[in-house]
Chain A
Amino acid sequence: MAQLPPLENAPINLIGLRKEAQLDLVEALDSMRGRKLLVLDPKLSGPLTLIVQISLLKEHGVENLSHLSGDPIQSDCTNVIYIVRPHLTLMKLIAAQIQHDKRNQQERQYSLYFMPRRSTACEKVLEAEGVHGGITFGEYRMFPIPFDDDVLSLEHELVLKELQVDGDPTSLWDLALTINNLQSRFGLIPNVKGKGDAAKKVFSIMKKMQEEQALTTPEGQPEIDTLILLDRQVDLVTPMCSQLTYEGLVDEFLNINNGCVELDPAILGGDKKVKVPLNSSDKLYRDLRDLNFGVVGGILREKAASMKQDYTDVKTTNQEFSDLKKFVKKMHALPEMTRHIDISQYLTTFTRKRSFMSRLIMEQTLVEGQEYDICYEYIEEMINKQEPLISVLRLLVILSVTNNGLQKKHFDYFRFVELLQSYGWENLFFINDLERAGLLRKQESKSNWLTLKRGLRLVVSDTDDSNPKDISYAFSGYAPLSIRLVQHALHASGWRGIEDMMKLLPGATFEERQVKNRVKFKREKEKKSSVDGRRALVLVVFIGGVTFAEISALRFLSAQESMKHDVIVLTTKLCNGTSFLQSLQTNPLGG
C-alpha cells in the first residue's frame, strides 16, 4: 500500500482535514462490534487509500475487505459493513448479496454507510427488494480527499453525466456542503467569484444552507481569501486537448489513479507491476511535474551529469565528511531519478510517433479555429482506420465546441454514417448523451470562438518551453481557457475588465462578497491593510473535473512574480479527456 501524501507544506491544515475523515471512518467501523467484513464501492476504495492505511482498518476489526460486485459474500464474518456512494445500481447488488445470505440461512448483521449521505431513493430500492429492515444505516461524510498540498478532490466521476445528462444536481448539493465545511474550518471566504450555471447553483445552495443553519466559523481572519467556482461547461475545450506537461503526459499515457501510477515491468524493469505514488513528497517529481515535457529530458540529463560529477569528485579528491554526507544525501534521490528517467523514456516512445505529432498539429489547427476542412478529413481518416472511438471523439468535441456545433451535413454524416457504422449502433446512446452534455452538437448559430481566442489570448504562438512566459506552455501554444479566466479573476479589475468576453461564455457570471456581519467586516478590513505582505489564498473549484495540465498552469500562475496569490484546487474529479468522455459512456446493465 502506498504511503499517504505527506501534506506538510499545504497552505491550510489538510492533515487535520484528513484526520477528521479518518476518525469518521473509524467511528463507522466501530459502530459494529467484533471482527467484520468491509465491502466497498469499487469506486471508493482508491480514494480511501488516500485517507487511511489498511493497518488502521485492521486495528478496528476489519478482517476482510472486498469490493461490491454481483457475487455473493465469501466470508464467515457475521458482521458486514458496506460503504458506498448512494447510487441506485449499487443497491441491487447489495440486495442480491443479502438475499443470497438469507436463502443460505447465513445469519449476518449488515450496516450500510452512504457516502456522503443517506439517500431516500436508494433506501427505496432496498425496501422494494425486501432487505431494508435488516440493515442499520449510517452516513460517512467523507471530506474532500487531499491528493497533494494544493489539490483536493471529491473523486466523483459521474458529476457531468448526472448533471448534464440526467438532470440530477445531487452532486452540486454535496459540493456546496463540502465547501461550507471547509468554510466552517478555515473561515468564511470573503470574495466569491463564479462562472457557469452549476457554479451559480452551488453558491446559491451554499447560501441557503447558511440561512438554514448558521455556519460556525473560527474567529479571526479567514484563511482562504477568494473562492472561484468554475463550471466545466464554460470550458470544454481544454480537457479534450492533449496535456503536454510531464504530469499530464504521464496521465494521458499511463493513467494516474488516486495519486498513483501503475508501471509495467517493461518500463521500470523487474518482473511485476509497481505502483508508484506521484505527489510532492517526491522532490524531483515536484520539480518536474509542471514543466512542459519537452524540457524534462534536458533537466534529467543535467541532474544525472551533476551527480556523476559529484561521484567523480568523491572518488578522486579528498573530501570532508560534511561533503561526503551531502553526497550520500544526494544519492538517496537516485532511485527517484532512475524512475523518472525510465518513465520519460517510455513517454518519448509515444511522443516521437508521427501520429502523436500530427494529432497535436490537428489540435492546434482546431483551437486556431480557421481551417476546418482538413480537420474533418483527418477525423474521417481516423475513423476509417478504426482508431479508438474516444480518441476520435476528443477531436470531434473540440471541433464542435470551438465551432459552436458541427454543420448539419457533417453532424449527420459523422454521427450516423461514420460513428455508428464503425463503432456499433449502441453508441447511439453515447452520442445522444454527448449531445445532451453540450459536447457534440449541431451548429445553430455562428461561433464566437475567434472573438474569444483573440480577446482572451488563447493562442500564444511564441513559446519557449524551457522558460515559459504564459500558461500556454502547458499545451504548447494553447492557453487553457479555464485558467485564463482564473488569471483574469485574480487581476485587479477582476472579470469586469473582460465583461464582453464573459458574456460570450455560457452561463451566469457573479462576483460577490460574503461577510459575517458589518462590524466584524470593518475590523477585518483594517487588519488586512496592516498585513499587506501576506499572500492571499485562492480556492479554485472546478465543477465537473480538472486536468493535471490545468493544475500545472495554475501553479505556474501563482509562481509568477506579479501574482500575490497561492492557489489550492478543489475538483469533483481529477480527469483527462479520455476519462472525461468515458464517464458519459454507459452500460445497459448498470451505470
Chain B
Amino acid sequence: MAVSVAAEWSAIANRYYRKQEIYRMAWHNVELSGHKVACARFGGMIAIIRDDTKIVRLRSEPARPKLLIFRSSGLLVASITWDRPGGRLIAMGWSDEEILHCVMQDGSVFRYDVHGKLLPDKVWFGQECWDQGIMECIIWGNGIVCLTEANAVFCIPDLGSPQFVKLTQLTLEDPPHCMAIIEPQHTVSGSVEVLLAVESTVMVVDGGSIQDQGTTIGPLGKMVASPNGSYVACFTHDGRLLVVTSDFSKTISEFDTQSALPPEQLIWCGMDSVLLYSDDSVLMVGPYGDWTKYTYDEPVVLIPECDGVRILSNTFMEFLQRVPDTTVSIFSIGSTSPGAMLYDAYDHFAKRNAKADESIRMVGSSIPDAVEACIDAAGQEFRMELQDTLMRAAVYGRTFCRRFSKTRIRETCKTLRILNGVRDPNVGIPLTLQQLKVLTLPVLIERLVNEHKHLLAIRMSEYMGLSPETVVVHWAGAMITAATSVPDPELCNLLLEKLKMYSVSYAAIAAHAYRNGRRTLAALLLEHEPRSSEQVPLLTSMGEEEKALGKAIKSGDTDLVYFTLFHLWQKKSPSEFTRAVQDKPLARNLFIAYARQNEPDVLKKFFASIGQLHRVGELLLWEAWAQSKNPVTRQGSPLQGPRIRLIEEAQRLFSHSKEHDFEAKACDEQARLLKIQHELEAKTGKAIFVDTSVSDTIRTCIVLKNHREAQRIRVEFKVPDKRFYWLKILALAYIKDWDALEKFSKERRPPVGFKPFVEACLQEGQTSEALKYIQKLSDPEEKAEAYAQAGMAKEAAEVAAQAKDSEILGRLKLTFGQSTTAAALFDSIRDRLSLQGG
C-alpha cells in the first residue's frame, strides 16, 4: 500500500511532486482548443466560450457562440447565447466574488453571476479606451488592468465599486511584447503594479508613476509573477526561462528551454516551480534547473492555485502539487520517520498482525509527533480511503500517548467532512486544506449560497458553529426571486415556516421582496421584524412613510422619527406633511425643534396652517430678540424701526385669542418702551437705554438726574409705588446725592418705610447718612439689626434690650463675634434679660 502512494510521485531535485486526478469531467463534447476558458480560483466555476480569433470546426452547434458555465466537475450550470455588443471579447475572468467579468474590445465590461445572469450595472473603461480599443487585458480577483492599442494603461482597482482610472500613457513605437501584474496585496504602494516588457527592458507602472527597470534581459515573450508577488518568471526571446526578483534587480535561476517560441501558458506551481505549456506537453522547471515533463494527448488549461496547479483537459481535472512534507515522511520509500512507523504499525494492527506491537515500540517517545504527522497527512489527501486510514492510524497512535489534544483530531475530522462535502462532483469545489485556510469557511459558505447550495451551506454553518443568518436570508431572497407565481400570503407563510427556526433579519428579506416588486409580501414580512431600526427605513423607502412614522414614534427612538420626518417632508406637499404630523405630538415637537433652528419661515407657515397664530407671534418676537443680540443689527437707533414693527406684528397675532393677553400686553409695552428709549437716546446722546428693562430705564434716568423722564416712565408703565421708591433710593445713593435722598424721604411717608434708605446708605458705606434713617425706624428688631449692620454694637444691644428680644441678641453676638468686648457686652445684656424674663 505504502509503495503505491509514492509510486505516483515524480522527483525534481530533492523534492517530490504529485499529480492526482480529481474529476472525470461530467461534460460531453467540450473541446477546449479554440475556446477561451476562465476558471475561478479556489476550485470555482469554469466559463467557456468560443474564441473568435481562432478557426474552429463547428459540429452540430449553432453559429452563434455560447457562453457555458460549468462546475469544476464539469456539470453544466448555465448556457447563454453570446450576443453582447462591443466587438471582440478580449478577456474573461472570475473575481473573488465569483462574478465573471468579460472585457470587450471597446472597453465595456459585462458581468455575469454563476447562474449566467447578466448583472445590470454598467462597467466600462471610459471614452478614451472606447476610442483606442483594448489590446490586452488581465483580470485578477479584485480588479482589471488593460492595455489599449494606443499603449495607454487603464485600471479598475476595485471591482466592488468599479470606477476606472487611467494609469499611464506610454509613447512607444512598438507595442509591449507582453504584460503582467503584481496584485495590490503584494506591492509596497498597495496599488496594483503593471509590468510591461518593452524592447529589452521592463517598465513598471505603479499608481500614477512609471519606471524603467533598466534591465537588459529582454525582449521578453511572457512574464508572470509568483503567487506571493516577490518573483517574476520571464520567458526570453531566445528561449530561456528566467526567474527574477520582482524589482528585476537579481536573477534567481535560469533554464534554457531550447525553444524560441514562447509557451502558450506560463504559470507558477506553488512558490518554487514554474510550468510552461506548449504543444500538448507541460514542462515543469524546479528552482535549481531540474525539470520534468508531462505529455498529454489533448489540450489542457493550467489553473494556478495558492498551493499548486489544477490541470483541466477535455476529459479530466488534475491537481499538481508539491507533495507535503508529512506525506513524504510517511509514504516515501524506506522512510523510518515516526509517522511512517505508526502508519506501518496500524497497517499490521488492522491486519491483526502481532508485528504491530513491534512497530509501535520502535516509535517510542515520538508517538505524539507520529500522530500529528498522520493527522496532517490525512488533511492533505484527496482520496477518502487514504484519509480514513491515516486518521485511524492517528487514533490508534493516540492511545499510546499520555496527552494528546482530542480537539486536534476532532477538528481535522470536521474539516475533512467539509472538504469532502464540497469536493463531491455535484458541488464541484475541489479545495485542499491549505486553500480552505486561505479562503476561510465563511467565504466558502458564501460561495455555496451564491451557487444556490443552501441546504449544504446551512448544514455546514451549523456543523461548524457559524451563524446561519446569511444563508437563511439569502435562501429567502432566492425563494422570492424564483417564486414569481406564488401569491404573496402563501409565499409569506412558506417563508415564515422556515424562518421561524432561526433568528434572522426580516427586514433584509423584506427589502429583497420589495426590490423584486413584491410590495405586499415585503409589508407582510416586515410585520415580523422586531427591530424598529430595521423596519422603519424600509417602510420609508417603500413609500409607506406614515406607517413608518407611526412605528418610529412607537419605538421611542427620536432619530428614527427624524429620519421619517425628513422623508415625508421631501416627498409630500406642505399640506400633506402638516396633516401627517399635526396629530402626532412627538413628530410635531421634533419638527418644530429642527425647523426653529433651520427653517424659521417654513415653521411660521406650519404654525399658521394649524391655526396656532400665537406660535408665529413667538417666532417674530424671537427674531426681534435675536436682532437685539446681534451686534450688527443692534447698533444705531434707526434700525430699531424693523424691530418695533416685528414686535407690533407679534402683538397683533397674540391678540387673536384671549389666552395670550399676557404676551400681547408684553409686546405692547415693549414696543412703547423701545420708542421711549429710542427718544431718550436721541435726547441724551447716550446709547445706554435700548434693551434695558423698565426698571433699568427709570434708574438710568435718575442717575442722569432726569427726574422728569423717570416720572414719565413711571406713569406710562404704571410702575408700582414701592418699586419706584426702591429704584429711586438705590439710584440716588449710587450717585451719592444725599441731599436729594433726604428730600425724597421727606416728600411723603415712604410706602416702603425707611429700611431701604438705611440699606442704600450702608451699601454705599455712608454710616452717618444711614443714622438719619435708622432713627426713623419703628420696628425695634429692624432697628437693632440696622445698628448692628452699621457696626454700632452698643446701640444695637440697647435697642434689643428694650425690645426684650434675646434671639436678636444671640444673632448679634455672632455678627460681632470677632470683638471680645462686644461679645461680653451682649452676654451681660442677655443675662440681664434672662434674669428679668425668669
What residues make up the interface of A, taking CB atoms closer than 8 Å to B?
Answer: 88-89, 92, 117-121, 124-125, 128, 162, 166-170, 172-173, 176, 201, 204-205, 208, 211-213, 352, 354, 357, 380-381, 383-386, 412, 415-418, 420-426, 428-429, 432, 587-589
Contact = CB atoms under 8 A, between A and B. Distances in A.
Nearest to A172: B556
A125 B594 CA distance: 9
A247 B493 CA distance: 64
Contacts of B670: 425
A121 B625 contact: no
Contact of A88 (B557, B594, B621, B718): B594
- Most chain-B Cβ atoms within 10 A of its Cβ — which of A204, A213, A420? A420
A352 B813 CA distance: 11
Contacts of B387: none
Given A124-B566, A412-B662, A429-B622, A201 B597 contact: no
Contact of B589 (A125, A166, A354, A357): A166
A424 B562 contact: no
A416 B626 contact: no
Contacts of B629: 587-589
Nearest to A128: B598
B720 interface: yes
Contacts of B265: none
A498 to B, nearest CB: 29
Interface in B638-665: 662-663, 665
Contacts of B785: 354
9 contacts: A120-B566, A176-B556, A211-B530, A212-B530, A354-B785, A384-B722, A420-B666, A421-B723, A428-B666
B528 to A, nearest CB: 13
Contact of B717 (A167, A421, A432): A421
B662 A415 contact: yes
Contact of A385 (B590, B622, B730): B730
B531 A416 contact: no
**Could you tell me the dominant secondary structure of chain A's interface residues?**
helix
A380 B722 contact: yes
Contact of B628 (A118, A426, A428): A426
Nearest to B534: A212
Contact of B597 (A88, A169, A418): A88
Interface stretch (B103-111, B211-219, B689-697, B767-775): B689-697
Contacts of B719: 421
A422 B562 contact: no
A149 to B, nearest CB: 32
Given A421-B695, A428-B621, A205 B556 contact: yes
Contact of B691 (A172, A357, A424, A432): A424
A421 B593 contact: no
A588 B622 contact: yes
A204 B719 CA distance: 51
Interface string B621-640: 11101101110000000000
A165 B789 CA distance: 44
B532 to A, nearest CB: 7
Interface string B719-746: 1101100110010000000000000000
B555 interface: yes
Contacts of B666: 416, 420, 425, 428
Contacts of A423: 693, 695
A426 B722 CA distance: 23
B788 to A, nearest CB: 9
B673 interface: yes
A125 B562 CA distance: 12
A170 B559 CA distance: 8
B593 A166 contact: yes
A384 B727 contact: yes
Interface string B774-816: 0000000000010001000000000000000000000100110
Contacts of B718: 417
Contact of B556 (A121, A204, A418): A204
A386 B622 contact: no
B625 A429 contact: yes
Given A425-B670, A589-B629, A168 B693 contact: no
A423 B530 CA distance: 52
Contacts of B726: 381, 384-385
A432 to B, nearest CB: 8
9 tightest CB-CB pairs across the interface, nearest first? A167-B589, A588-B626, A384-B726, A421-B694, A424-B693, A425-B670, A170-B558, A120-B562, A422-B695
Most chain A CB within a 10 A radius of its CB, from B532, B559, B673: B559
Nearest to B567: A120
Contacts of A354: 785, 789
Contacts of A429: 618, 621-622, 625
Contacts of A412: 662
Interface string B551-566: 0000111110011001
Nearest to A176: B556
Contacts of A170: 558-559
Nearest to A589: B629
B669 A383 contact: no
A167 B594 CA distance: 12
A137 to B, nearest CB: 13
Nearest to A423: B693
Interface string B561-601: 01100100000000000000000011011101110011000
B559 A118 contact: yes
A385 B731 CA distance: 11
A405 to B, nearest CB: 15
Interface string B594-626: 100110000000000000000000100111011
Contacts of B623: 588
A25 B517 CA distance: 44
B643 to A, nearest CB: 12
Given A88-B593, A124-B598, A426-B625, 7 more contacts: A121-B559, A172-B556, A173-B557, A204-B556, A418-B723, A425-B670, A432-B618
Contact of B662 (A211, A383, A416, A587): A416
A212 B586 contact: no
B548 to A, nearest CB: 13
Contact of A425 (B598, B626, B669): B669
A176 B557 CA distance: 11
A117 B560 CA distance: 12
B814 A352 contact: yes
Given A354-B785, A421-B693, A426-B625, A117 B559 contact: yes
Contact of B531 (A92, A213, A385): A213
